[in-house]
Amino acid sequence: MIDSKIIDSFHLMWGNFPEPVCLINKNREILAVNQASRKIGREPGVRCIDFGTPEQHKNCLANKALASQKTTYSKSQAGDKEIIGYWVTVPGHPDIYVHFGIGVTIDYNQPCEGC
């Protein structure tokens, strides 16, 4: 069982981030999601690898991040969009990480609406 302070801290830091963000354990169970993740159908209790297609997970660096306890990232293409995926370890909690991608739901080549 994860400490509720970790979940609360996740929501404080990532709740309003405009891209989907998940807090995930080493078994790939999603522990918490932000609003943007919820909008695209991600929910706590589901395994992250059960979301989307196997092709979308081929560049997953979760194991590398957890083994090294260092943030990792990769760039990939999804159609005409470039996505930079991050796996950020949580200090003091070696079995959980924050995962998000820049470019998942926002096209950064377009002008910012509402900016």
User: Mean pLDDT of all residues in the chain?
Assistant: 94
State the pLDDT at residue 57.
Answer: 87
Q: Name the pairing type of β-strands 30-33 and 72-78.
A: unpaired
User: Considering Cα of 96, then 102, then 106, then 111, what sign does the dihedral take?
Assistant: positive
* 51-103 tens-digit pLDDT: 888 888 888 999 999 999 999 999 998 888 899 999 999 999 999 999 999 99
Name residue 86's beta-bridge partners: 73, 100
Per domain, the residue ranges of the chain are: 4-102
Tell the CATH topology of 4-102: Beta-Lactamase (3.30.450)
